[in-house]
Structure formats: C-alpha cells, structure tokens
Amino acid sequence: MASVPAVLNSEWTKIRTVSSTTWTLICAFAVTVAMGAGVSALVNSTFDDLSENEQLTFDPTLVSFSGTVLGQLAMIVFGVLVVGTEYSSGMIRTSLAAVPQRGTLLFSKIAVAGVLALVVGLLTSFVSFFLSQAVLGDRGTDLGQENVLRAVVGAGLYMGLIAVFSMGVTAILRSSMLSMGILIPFFLLISNILAAVPYAKDVIRYFPDQAGSKIMQVVPEAMGSDPSPYGPWAGLGIMVAWVAAAVLGGYLVLKNRDA
C-alpha cells in the first residue's frame, strides 16, 4: 500500500517534470495580467465615453480582472493535461499498479495540482490588481477599500477552482482532446453567449463560471450588468458545488471502470 506522502511526492514530480503543464501556468499568469492592464488602459482613456450608468457603477477592481476570461482557458488546459496525459500515454495503468488505491491516486493528483493552480491564481490576481490600478491612476482603488481584498483573493480562488473543475471533468471523460473540446468552447463562447439570452440567462447564471466570477465584483451590478439573485460568496459556493460534483464524478468513474 503506497503512503499518501509518497503519492503526493510522485504527483508533484510528474507535474514539475512535464514542460507543458509549467508553460500553461506561465501563460495563465501572463495573459491575465497583460489583458487586465490593457483593458484598464483602454477604459481609463475612454472613460468619458461610457454611459452614465456605467460610470456610476464603475468597478476598477473588476476591470483589473478582465484578463481572467482568457487566463482561465490556460487553467483549463493545465487541469486537463494533469489528468488526461496519463490516459493518452497509457501511464494510468502504471500509476494504478503502483498505487492500487484509486481514490488516493486521484485525490493526491488533484490536491497537488490544485494547490499549485491556487498559488499561481493568487499570484496572478494580486499582480493583475496592482498593475491595473497603477494604470487606472486616480480612477483606481486599493486593498484598503471595502470588499476589494475579498475580490482580489476571490479572483485567485476562481482560477484555482477552474483548474480543479477541469481535472474532475477530465477524470470523467478520460480524454484530453474530448475534455478540451467541451470545456474551452463552453467557457469561452457558449456560457457568455447564453448569458445574454433573456430566457436562458436565468439558468446560465448558476453555471460555474458565471456564478464564481461574482466574487470578483466589488460594486453591485458593476458596469451596468444585470442584478444577481445571489451575492459574491454564494456565487463562489455554487462554483465549489460544481467542482465537488466534477471531482466526485471523476472518482466514481476511476473507481468503477477499467483503466
């Protein structure tokens, strides 16, 4: 029986020795920070062109996380690769031979990769915030303002949870290509498009990305957005429920199906 510390160390070795996982995390950081700063600069220069309602509900904290829409895609790729690479390479059989306790194997993998994604997510959110606020100048805010620290930490949690959700989905589907083919279009296009459809948005707002992203808002109905039936922490709670369901589903598939 493999000990948990040994399995955790093994999973850490797998992640850090595969260049693709490292580069996806670097991309998540770079894209999020760069796009956040770029959008902040654009908004700052065109602020007077915004509608009166958008100016009154201007949320400098939320604007600094504009790059999350693309950065989360890199986190999805990271989560998919962590789990899916073993299936595509056939290494899952070797891993299960070394660690017969399937739950220990999966949860150790998710724990190591999840903590790494969380650390990168928090680093990304703080750097994005400080750089974007510097770009916004007098229109910016600081961590001492009410709910700003919650939003910055929440943005990091959001990115980490996206990665863990992707790991769970990949464990269910057992295919990197299939997982990316579903997750990336969903988060990049489908969720955002349906959120603008009158009858669909009442359901879509409970999807993981739509609910979880509320944690990044400081100003209610920021930038003229629609009112939400739940608050920032409740939205994050909805996202956590989705993540837990995905991880549980991945565990049940791994436990009950042959590798």
Q: Write phi, then psi, for 198 (nearest 5 degrees).
A: -50, -50
Residues 6+ positions from 73 with CB-CB distance below 8 Å: 184, 187, 188
pLDDT band at 223 (very low <50, low <70, confident <90, very high): confident
Residue with tokens 């990336």: 184
Please give the model's pTM, rounded to 2 decimal places: 0.93
Integer CA distances (angstroms), 38 to 31, 106, 135, in order: 10, 38, 9
Please write the tens of the pLDDT for every residue from 132-186: 999 999 999 999 999 999 999 999 999 999 999 999 999 999 999 999 999 999 8
| 3-state class (DSSP) for residue 120 | helix
Residue of 45, 228, 21, 250 whose CA lies nearest to 135: 45
Q: What is the pLDDT of residues 68-81, one digit of tens each?
A: 999 999 999 999 99
SS (H, E, C) 21-66: HHHHHHHHHHHHHHHHHHHHHHHHHCHHHCCHHHHHCCCHHHHHCC
Q: Which tokens sit at 51?
A: 């509608």
CA angle centred on 214, ends 212 and 220, rounded to 5°: 170
Q: 257: which 2 tokens?
A: 């199906």
Cβ atoms 68, 30 nearer than 8 A: no
Q: How many residues does the chain have?
A: 259
Interatomic CA distance for residues 219 and 205, integer angstroms: 18
User: Cβ neighbours of residue 97 under 8 Å, at least 6 residues apart?
Assistant: none
8 Å CB contact between 208 and 79: no
CB 60 within 8 A of CB 223: no
- pLDDT for 227 equals 81
Per-residue pLDDT reduced to its tens digit, 71-116: 999 999 999 999 998 888 888 888 888 888 888 899 999 999 999 9
Cα 12 from Cα 152, distance rounded (Å) = 27
150: tokens are 């919650």
Structural contact between residues 156 and 118, judged by C-beta atoms closer than 8 angstroms: yes
